Amino acid sequence: MDAIEYYNKYASKIFEETVEEEVSEKFRDEFLSYLDEGDAILDLGCGSGRDSLDFYERGYDVTPLDGAEEMCRLAEVHTDLEVLCEKYEDMDFDDAFEGVWAREAFIHVPKDEIAGVLQKVREALTRKGVFYTCVSEGEFEGFSGELYYSDYEKEELEEILTDCGFKVLEIWEVRDDDVRRGYEGKGWIHVLAQKR
């Protein structure tokens, strides 16, 4: 099953698990410190719309985007924002956003496809635009249960971003304590990068 089918099938459950999830403000605040109020943000892989709504309520011009139709429908109801429903590889933006927020958006993208997706992100950003993402840390790539996962090592991720035309501004390695979602002890790499 591909990720879009999975997220459509389990949309209600995933929505309930994530819509009120407490997420560290550190990464959102750091991302927003590079933007001005009213700037345009693309929330890539918006899921429940939790982060889109937060950005909107803080005064930003937010465009939520997700590939799973059911997640888009639920996010629209939750945020009262129009949610674009399309795959990352089908995005066609040109210098449209000062920021792209992609929290856990790429964990199901095969490594041999990530450069193409990151190029789409780069094209979507304005000159000097900023990009945030987080990926799971490790060396695993393949199916785990019903989903395909791609983990990254810090140096590997930095090299990919640099090769795709980004300057890494900040990078953090953190351990998760989310027992509920089965992530206890899981390592994550959070990165803030800028279009070069």
The domain that contains 61 carries what CATH number? 3.40.50.150
Tokens of 144: 């785990």
Read off the pLDDT of residues 114-126 as tens digits, 9 standing for 90 and up: 999 999 999 999 9
pLDDT grade for 182, boundaries at 50, 70 and 90: low
Whole-number Cα distances in Å, 123 to 38, 84, 87: 20, 17, 15
pLDDT grade for 177, boundaries at 50, 70 and 90: low
Distance CA 123, CA 168 (A): 17
Count of domains observed in the chain: 1
Q: What is the DSSP letter of 5?
A: H
Q: What is the pLDDT of residue 186?
A: 80
Element containing residue 14 per DSSP (H, E) = helix 11-18
The reported pTM is: 0.93
Distance CA 173, CA 138 (A): 11
Residue numbers of the domain that contains 151: 3-195
Read off the pLDDT of residues 66-93 as tens digits, 9 standing for 90 and up: 999 999 999 999 999 999 999 999 999 9
Cα 66 to chain centroid, rounded = 10
Q: For 134-163, what is the HEC assignment? A: EEEECCCEEEECCEEEECECHHHHHHHHHH
Distance CA 98, CA 119 (A): 15
